[in-house]
Structure 1
Amino acid sequence: MGSALPLGEPAPADGALPPTTRIDPETPFGVYLHVPFCRVRCGYCDFNTYTSGELRGARQDEYADTLLREIDLAQGVLSDAGGLRPASTVFFGGGTPTLLPPGDLARMLDGVRMVFGIADGAEVTVEANPDTVTDAVAAELAASGVTRMSVGMQSAVPHVLAALDRTHDPVNVASAVSIARAHGLDVSLDLIYGAPGESLEDWRLSLETAVALAPDHISAYALIIEDGTKLARQIRRGEVPAPDDDLQADMYELADDLLGAAGYDWYEVSNWARGDEHRSRHNLAYWQGHDWWGFGPGAHSHIAGLRFWNVKHPAAYAQRLAAGESPAAGRERPDAEARALESILLRTRIREGFPVAELLGEGRHAVAALIADGLIEGPAALHGRIVLTRRGRLLADAVVRALTD
């Protein structure tokens, strides 16, 4: 059911932003809609998600109406702060959004449209389990204004899927891609590498299978072992091996080679797209520090430098909104030093890089050594940008430490 919420000051019951909040109307605004339901809990997952047996007082069939109450609350909060803007991106994440009827997702999207407006050409993404994608589902989503489907493929190899506790039929990935395409949706595939028992050749097969489906976008994430997950317990008991860092590095390099050869350009450490127009604009907004409101239990928001987050359990979330209260559990405004560190941490991950001029003194002194070590691109640095080399992408945390120590 996810990791603990961060510490911070309590959020007010009405959700009002501090009177000192200054919203820039030119800053893009994104909307994240969290759907916290899953049929089963994957062994590696620590997202704020719930199976039917864990809901305890929350009802899946009432969820859309509950979330629409938070959208109405956000309208008042942002109107009072002078910050209503049309959404430039909308992202349904989870969990498994497509466990809800597509009509519920459409109603939630209509709520965003009526309260904020949706900008012309906005990117509207729905994450989907391959087994839940039917022609009827895709047709209704496309008709509601969805433009993009992100399909949780993870692997093409049955024993790897089993190690991850993924229950979908690998055959349905191709079906989901074909159906989404038939309804005019862009398609992204999500992959995970480094699962227990996964070989380099297993990973090659997954990559080749994904490329053969010709999606517009591919994400490839190294498996991270999160405390409190089933997989962490299995590793602690010695039942399965921990991920091998060297093998994961080899897997990353193989992904970059195969995806690059197939016409996919990296634009963020774990993401590749066929042309700039197919990048995930919603995720780029996170890395670039734009504003967004996260709706749903456990969702996080960022408005004009203020961060706030909702109570985690769907029942507590529903109870607060039914009482006319904000579901926000806490909030914080990072100081200038923390914001500068976060900006370096996030913006160095993307292809455009981080401006050398914005580095503090010690960070600037590290640039020459990072070039010499092959971690950042020399020509880009000479033109004023910190851009990671492939080796630098594998050691991104070390680059950030060097730039901020």
Structure 2
Amino acid sequence: MGRLPEGDAAPADGRLPAGTAADGPFGVYLHVPFCSVRCGYCDFNTYTADELRGATRAGYPGDVAAEIAVATRVLGELGPLRQAETVFFGGGTPTLLPAGDLLRMLDGVRDAFGLAPGAEVSVEANPDSIDAAGLAQLRAGGVTRVSFGMQSAVPHVLAALDRTHDPERVPQVVAWARKAGLEVSIDLIYGAPGESLDDWQRSLDAAVAMAPDHVSAYALIVEDGTALARRIRRGELVAPDDDLQAAMYEAADATLTSAGYGWYEVSNWARGGRVARHNLAYWRGQDWWGFGPGAHSHVGGVRWWNVKHPAAYRDRLLAGASPALAREVLDDETRRVERVLLESRIAEGLAIDVLEPDGRRAVAGLMAEGLVDPAAALAGRVVPTLRGRLLADAVVRRLLP
């Protein structure tokens, strides 16, 4: 699993620096670090049952409740607590916990902060980790949206990714979610070893046929330390091909656009305006508190992250301490650079006046090369074209010379 970043040690009580500005929209991320098996490509902070050592799934909602108490104290010192506009259960596989446990965690957020009117409450789920009754229970308890990890419709691609679900189950769980009144998102991954462009098109067509509200399509990245990286290094599997992944991205955009979906972030498409508001809050640099082991948070230019292992997380909370391990306080220049990195990836774009003079001068060249939308640039914003999305890192390098 990936290492946590380096930073300054966080204070034991979790207190934020004096003068931290806690304003604007506020979101909550709830990390559920449990998986039945670990997929070979996964670099997330997740644990199977035999790796928990001193922590339990049954006790986890109580651990999160203890961190919620820390959060209300820390944020209460900065001013009135803000209602949560978005809540996102991620993982891991949140639906390995009973629906009632997830709703206990949601109730803890509701009781501590309140949920804003029309709040978006999302839960990630594997197709084989939830049933119709569970989905209905989540909806009745206040969940508004479910994101299914489909990844592919092709069995040999799922096998290469170590995914265990039957692809034929995905339409069934989508139908159950619809019946329960939930919005539906489908997550896809492209560029797996052995996956052809025809395989990928089959997955896209299968996703569109289910008419989800939202689709995420992510290029497979081979992370150091994963089982996939080791298999590629040993020559058992072939590394993803950049040119093929670019063709797959173009296929995704063409297929989804023709089906009525519009891109709003490089890897995300929605129809009917049903963007993932929690996801978009990250790209806008807004505030959120991340609960759970290894979870990251950001409030008013202060970013921090929790200890990784569920047992260490629990031990700190039982001792009355914050689970935060380390943090960094972002200066104005760092925040400006991050704004360029993030907002240049979204359809609403980046205000050109955020750029330094050399970056502003680079916009004309990016327009001429077809990387930035000319009409948006003339209106004062940097919005990437399809080609610009494919070359997003190169665009950023030009904007931050």
Shift of 1:394: 0.2
Q: Does structure 2 retain, via aligned residues, the 8 Å contact 1:31–1:292?
A: yes
Q: Does structure 2 retain, via aligned residues, the 8 Å contact 1:292–1:302?
A: yes
1:166 is aligned to 2:194: no
TM-score by structure 2 length? 0.99
SS in 2 for 1:192: strand
Identity, in percent, stands at 67
Q: Cα deviations across residues 110-138 of structure 1 (Å, max 9, x unaligned)?
A: 00000000000000000001012211101
1:212 is aligned to 2:218: no
Distance 1:67 1:42 in 2: 25
Note the residue ranges of structure 1 that are not aligned, 5 or more in a row. Answer: none
The residue that corresponds to 2:375 in the other structure is: 379
TM-score by structure 1 length? 0.98
Shift of 1:360: 0.7
What RMSD in Å do the two structures reach over aligned CA positions? 0.7
Q: Cα deviations across residues 251-285 of structure 1 (Å, max 9, x unaligned)?
A: 00000000000000011000000122x10000000
Q: Cα deviations across residues 13-43 of structure 1 (Å, max 9, x unaligned)?
A: 111111121222xx00000000000000000
Identify which range, 304-313 or 78-87, moves more after superposition: 78-87
The residue that corresponds to 1:119 in the other structure is: 116
Identify which range, 5-14 or 94-103, moves more after superposition: 5-14
The residue that corresponds to 1:293 in the other structure is: 289
The residue that corresponds to 2:72 in the other structure is: 75
Q: Cα deviations across residues 128-154 of structure 1 (Å, max 9, x unaligned)?
A: 010122111011100110000000000
Note the residue ranges of structure 2 that are not aligned, 5 or more in a row. Answer: none
The residue that corresponds to 1:102 in the other structure is: 99
The residue that corresponds to 1:231 in the other structure is: 228
Letter in structure 1 aligned against 2:299:
I
Letter in structure 1 aligned against 2:372:
I
SS in 2 for 1:132: coil
In the alignment of these two chains, the number of paired residues is: 401
The residue that corresponds to 2:279 in the other structure is: 283
The residue that corresponds to 1:388 in the other structure is: 384
The residue that corresponds to 2:188 in the other structure is: 191
The residue that corresponds to 1:9 in the other structure is: 8
Shift of 1:83: 4.6
1:45 is aligned to 2:46: no
Q: Pick one of 300, 303, 325 that aligns with 2:299.
A: 303
Q: Does structure 2 retain, via aligned residues, the 8 Å contact 1:71–1:115?
A: yes
The residue that corresponds to 1:152 in the other structure is: 149
Cα 1:83–1:308, aligned 2, differ >3 Å: closer, same or farther?
Answer: farther
Which structure 2 residues correspond to residues 340-355 of structure 1 after superposition, within 5 A? 340-355=336-351
Which structure 2 residues correspond to residues 222-371 of structure 1 after superposition, within 5 A? 222-276=219-273, 278-371=274-367
SS in 1 for 2:134: helix
Identify which range, 135-144 or 88-97, moves more after superposition: 135-144
Q: Cα deviations across residues 156-187 of structure 1 (Å, max 9, x unaligned)?
A: 00000000000011111111100100010000
Letter in structure 2 aligned against 1:151:
F
The residue that corresponds to 2:198 in the other structure is: 201
Letter in structure 1 aligned against 2:313:
Y
Distance 2:79 2:120 in 1: 24
Runs of 4+ residues over 4 Å off in structure 1: none
Q: Does structure 2 retain, via aligned residues, the 8 Å contact 1:125–1:147?
A: yes
Q: Does structure 2 retain, via aligned residues, the 8 Å contact 1:23–1:83?
A: no
Q: Pick one of 176, 180, 196 that aligns with 1:179.
A: 176
Shift of 1:12: 0.9
Q: Cα deviations across residues 298-350 of structure 1 (Å, max 9, x unaligned)?
A: 00000001001000000000000011110000010122222111101100110
Identify which range, 332-341 or 359-368, moves more after superposition: 332-341
SS in 2 for 1:122: strand
